[in-house]
Structure 1
Amino acid sequence: MPRTEADNKSAKQARAAHARAVRAANKEKREKLKAARIALMARARSAKKDQK
């Protein structure tokens, strides 16, 4: 079944929209992980101070 120009265009738009959504989700995930890592480091640092 040959695709029409309109089909190609809408498929391309759908792919682009999905790629944008994935990138946004990945960015959020990265930021969450980074925040968790920073919090963990801060906790570890304060625990170290308490030991002295």
Structure 2
Amino acid sequence: MHLHKSDLGIMQIVELSGLSYPTVRNTIKLFEAGGWPAIKPAARGHQHGEG
């Protein structure tokens, strides 16, 4: 988010980070909507006792 706030364009962030355009754009969108908690990764895998 620091890169975006320092007026770098999305394509520049893509080049610097090596992430895809949709990933960068979605992360910026989530951050603008809800700050750092909004971009926390979701839990992966099964919960204990499932499956």
Q: Same fold (TM over 0.5)?
A: no
Larger Rg: 1
Higher relative contact order (CA 8 A, sep 6+): 2
Q: Could you say which structure has the higher helix fraction?
A: 1
Q: TM (normalized to structure 2)?
A: 0.30
